Amino acid sequence: MDAFRARYGPWALVAGGSMGMGAAYSRQLATRGLNVVLVAEAAEPLETLARSLAAEHSVQTRPVLADLSAPDVLAVLDAATRDLEIGLLVYNAAHSVVGRFLDVALEDKLRMVEVNCRGPLLLCHHFGTRMVARGRGGIIVVASLSGFQGHAMVGTYAATKAFDLVLGEALWEELRGHGVDALAFCPGATRTPAFLATNPQPTGGLSPPLMDPDETVAEALAALGHGPTHIAGRTNRLAAFVLHRLLPRRSLVELMSRTTRAMYERRH
Ligand SMILES: NC(=O)c1ccc[n+]([C@@H]2O[C@H](COP(=O)([O-])OP(=O)(O)OC[C@H]3O[C@@H](n4cnc5c(N)ncnc54)[C@H](OP(=O)(O)O)[C@@H]3O)[C@@H](O)[C@H]2O)c1
């Protein structure tokens, strides 16, 4: 049996597994021979992808319709997966609303906290407990380059991604002694439906080129088991290395805010 499947199989659960990077996780995991539980809110893309992966890769798939911000989401996911051995959890879903902090509705801010912070906390606790009991498994918490510092226009989202970054790193340290690999994975701008829907404007060279979801996800799967944190893309890694080591915090926040303002301010 393939070493990846032996370590992280037989089932993976991809929270937010129907589109963009989430679909790429589901597809690449099915290609590696893992059965996949795909969780999302919209039925049609979820069920279509689940059917096509099962047919193309001779694996089992289980689409689960759930809102990861719902108060009872853990009960829903537990009922849907109780008969399965989930060896890999990918928490990919996120809610993101762009705008100046005071202009974004409070309910959107709270939904970002629910989907991006409460959701991974619940699922890491639930599936992590079972992985530790089995002595093997993997957890990828999808954070973001935006989680390394504050930015104008995406303040709440960036703060939730800082939570994901720190949570994934802490899990790496605590769980590795129990046979469970955790990773805080940090994509930069990636060509997904969710990102394109924010309608980002060109920034005049302030930001690196958009990455492809398949390329980004391949990096995450390759990085699992090799350290606490991985930044997607060589250009992003180089930029992060230089910016985080050389710039004072104040200059870093100002520079990153110039980028997000150039991308979004005129429209908000
Ligand atoms: N794209 C980028 O440029 C970029 C950059 C840095 C970090 N990231 C991070 O990468 C991850 C994925 O990126 P993306 O935002 O571009 O999205 P994506 O992978 O294209 O799709 C998001 C997935 O999450 C699902 N989802 C969203 N809210 C949900 C909810 N409340 N309950 C259940 N499922 C939900 C969506 O399906 P439904 O719509 O059916 O719910 C979809 O399957 C996120 O964690 C994001 O923060 C993205």
Q: Mind giving me the DSSP string for 102-120?
A: GGS-HHHHHHHHIIIIIHH
pLDDT band at 250 (very low <50, low <70, confident <90, very high): very high
Give me the pLDDT at residue 144, please. 98
pLDDT over threshold 70, residue 207: no
State pLDDT tens for residues 75-101.
999 999 999 999 999 999 999 999 999
Give me the pLDDT at residue 165, please. 98
Backbone angles phi, psi at 186, to 5 degrees: -120, 95
Backbone angles phi, psi at 187, to 5 degrees: -75, 155
Q: Which residue's CA lies nearest to atom 23 of ligand 1?
A: 16
Q: For a ligand 1 pocket test, name from 111, 190, 229 the mutation site with the most ligand atoms within 8 angstroms of its C-beta.
A: 190
pLDDT over threshold 80, residue 203: no
Give me the pLDDT at residue 201, please. 83
pLDDT over threshold 80, residue 28: yes
Distance 242 CA to ligand 1 centre (A): 28
pLDDT band at 205 (very low <50, low <70, confident <90, very high): low
- Does a cis peptide bond (omega within 30 degrees of 0) precede residue 120? no
d(CA 194, CA 66): 18
Q: Name beta bridge partners: 36.
A: 12, 61
Assigned token pair, 138: 């993997």
Q: Which residue's CA lies nearest to atom 12 of ligand 1?
A: 92
pLDDT over threshold 80, residue 125: yes
Region of poorest pLDDT, from 65-74, 83-92, 109-118, 258-267 = 258-267
pLDDT over threshold 60, residue 199: yes
Query: Using CB atoms within 10 A of its CB, is residue 8 exposed (0-12), middle (13-18) or buried (19+)?
Result: buried
Q: Residue type at 89?
A: L
Q: Which residues contact 183 (CB under 8 A, 6 or more apart)?
A: 138, 139, 140, 141, 168, 172, 220, 223, 224, 225, 227, 228, 229, 230
Measured from CB, residues less than 6 Å from any atom of ligand 1 are 16-22, 39-42, 66-69, 92-95, 115, 142, 144, 187-190, 192-195
Distance 192 CA to ligand 1 centre (A): 8
Region of poorest pLDDT, from 43-57, 58-72, 216-230, 252-266 = 252-266
State pLDDT tens for residues 150-182.
999 999 999 999 999 999 999 999 999 999 999
pLDDT over threshold 90, residue 251: yes
Q: For a ligand 1 pocket test, name from 21, 25, 157 the mutation site with the most ligand atoms within 8 angstroms of its C-beta.
A: 21
pTM above 0.95, yes or no: yes
Distance 246 CA to ligand 1 centre (A): 31
pLDDT over threshold 90, residue 268: no
Pairing of strands 229-231, 35-40: unpaired
Distance 23 CA to ligand 1 centre (A): 10
